[in-house]
Amino acid sequence: MFEECRKSDVDALMQSDAEFRSLYRHHKDLDKKVHDAELGVLPMDSVTLMTMKREKLRAKDRLTELWDQHQAMH
């Protein structure tokens, strides 16, 4: 996520915004778990997988909101 953005901008927001930092790490963790589950490396039932995907999407939406707010101020 945020691969198209300058790393220094993402790092600066991670330093200054605890919510962004926490959500960013949570999103990355969910992304890895979802990916592993889809590969079959991490056993998981379909309901749990769908729940994790929804949670990942909510985190991404909030991260995008925080990013947009930060960009609007600078």
4-51: pLDDT as tens digits: 888 888 899 999 999 999 999 999 999 999 999 999 999 999 999 999
Instruction: Look at the alpha carbons of 3, 69, 11, 37 in this order and tell me if their dihedral is positive or negative.
Output: negative
Q: Which of 70, 73, 62 is nearest to 12 (CA)?
A: 70
This prediction's pTM: 0.88
Report residue 1 CA to chain centroid gap.
7
Count of CB atoms situated within 10 Å of the CB of 60: 17
